[in-house]
Structure 1
Amino acid sequence: MDALLTSTFSVAIAEIGDKTQLLALVLAIRFSNKSAIISAILLATLMNHFIAAYLGQWAIGWLDPQWSRYIIAASFFAIALWVLIPDKIDDDDHRFYKLGAFGATFILFFIAEIGDKTQIATVVLAAKYQSLTWVVIGTTLGMLIANVPVVLAGHFSANKLPMALIHRGCALIFALLGIATLMW
């Protein structure tokens, strides 16, 4: 249950103001089929985060348990610093719009999530909890919690939120996860 709750909460918070959330906003403004956008976000996230979680569990199997604890803690600290850097969305993604709401969203979300903070967090969370299923479900729920409201209210602007405060809070959460990893 810790894997599910921690994964959901940490990714939902990390996603606020992230480039994929900005992408969700752009797609919601561009396309009227909100259910296609949400379905594509769900599928792209499930696939991407499954691969990431699998990689995290595979990698941790090769490391000495003592070293893995330090590497996981260091990764949480690195993510804590990384979330303090605001994301921007690429402007050249319009070439995928001809694929329609579902196709464009699926491809753009899958690509945007590669190497993104939330994907790296998924790798680290899977390594920490050794629970591929619960981490993938949790990180996917976190992505949906953060992105579905943006899609449904496409006119909503992320700059109405206290982004600096949200990013600092998210950094604190990942730092606390790093400390907890070192202590237990």
Structure 2
Amino acid sequence: MEAFLTSLIFVVLAEMGDKTQLLGMCFATRYRWQTVLWGVFVATVLNHLFAVEVGNYLTRFVPISYIQIAAAVSFIIFGLWTIRGDELDESCANAKYSPFWTVAIAFFMAEMGDKTQLATVALAAKFNTVIPVWLGTTVGMMIANAIGIIIGVTLGKRIPERLVKWISAAIFIFFGFVGLYQNLPEKFLTMPFMIGAVVVVALCAYYLVKLEKKPELAKE
């Protein structure tokens, strides 16, 4: 019981204001709250089980910084995907990836190398148990993200859809760049490289906006 309660409290406190809670908030402004909650639940269950059972072994062969870099790049991709996400919103039933899988994949990647995943590994080692820590961290994540989803649902009713989309994309891309800055080797953290990365992402966003406007012009 101690392992469960400790894990639950630790994760709830750690997730307050964390990127995954902000993601839940953003997704809740675009998709049904039930879909977001189930996506978060599935991603958390799988990710934290991975952390407890495999995480400590994986880091022996793959440096955690590589995992965090991959997660950061995926965040930038999700941000650009959000900008071009209108088709997904309009035809979710026929889309290649449904809102549920969009949320689940985003959350799973967000947790890769995140402090709560690393904390799950540490807590499992400390208490030398799997199930209580896994359940505690999972419940803690659900509580923290439920708070974010409630806020997101409230904001979604008051903020224009286009603004919501750009705020969501900006949060994805921001955390992507923060992750890269924190984990890339110092030789890459030069001013030309960083400016170049920002320019490339900005050009991609501009191109996606252009693609978005073409169907609108065709309708007119």
If the TM-score is normalised by the length of the shorter chain, which range does it land in?
A: 0.5 to 0.7
Q: How many residues align?
A: 128
Aligned: 1:47 with 2:46: yes
Code of the aligned partner of 1:141: V
Check 1:9–1:56 CA distance in 2 against 1; reply closer, same or farther (3 A cut): same
Matching residue of 1:9:
9
Cα distance in 2 between the residues matched to 1:110 and 1:96: 19
> Gaps spanning 5+ residues in structure 2: where?
61-74, 89-96, 157-220
The answer on 1:111 being equivalent to 2:109 is yes
Q: Give distance in 2, aligned partners of 1:136 and 1:111.
A: 18
Shift of 1:156: 5.4
Q: Tell me the residue number matched to 2:202.
A: none
Q: Are residues 30 and 55 of structure 1, via their aligned partners in 2, closer, same or farther at CA, if it must alter by over 3 Å?
A: same
Corresponding position of 1:145:
143
SS at match of 2:29: helix
Cα 1:156/1:53, change in 2 over 3 Å? farther
What is the RMSD of the two structures over their aligned residues, measured on CA atoms?
A: 2.5
Q: Which deviates more from structure 2 when the two are superposed, residues 137-146 or residues 47-56?
A: 47-56
The equivalent of 2:22 in structure 1 is: 22
Question: What code does the residue aligned with 1:111 have?
Answer: M
Is it true that 1:92 corresponds to 2:80 in the alignment? yes
Deviation string for 1:64-103 (max 9, x for gaps)? Answer: xxxxxxxxxxxxxxxxxxxxxxxxx753352678333211
Retained in 2: the 8 A contact 1:96–1:104? no
Unaligned runs of 5+ in 1: 63-88, 158-184
Q: 1: distance between equivalents of 2:85 and 2:20?
A: 15
Aligned-partner residue type, residue 35 of structure 1: Q
Q: Whole-Å Cα distance in 1 between the matches of residues 56 and 2 of structure 2?
A: 16
Deviation track 1:104-160 (CA, whole Å, cap 9, x = no partner) reads 110000011000011010010111111110101000011011001221331359xxx
Is the 1:54–1:126 Cα contact (8 Å) retained in structure 2?
no
Please state whether the residue corresponding to 1:30 is helix, strand or coil. Answer: coil
Aligned to 2:98, the other structure's residue is in SS state helix
- The amino acid that maps onto 1:46 is V
Structure 2 CA distance, aligned partners of 1:156 and 1:134? Answer: 35
- Measure, in 2, the Cα distance between the counterparts of 1:113 and 1:96: 22
Check conservation: 1:93, 1:108, Cα contact below 8 A: no
Q: Secondary structure at the match of 1:153?
A: helix
- Alignment partners' CA distance in 1, 2:55 and 2:42: 20
TM-score (norm 2): 0.53
Look up the match of 2:120.
122
* Letter in structure 2 aligned against 1:22: L
State the distance in 2 between where 1:129 and 1:57 align: 14
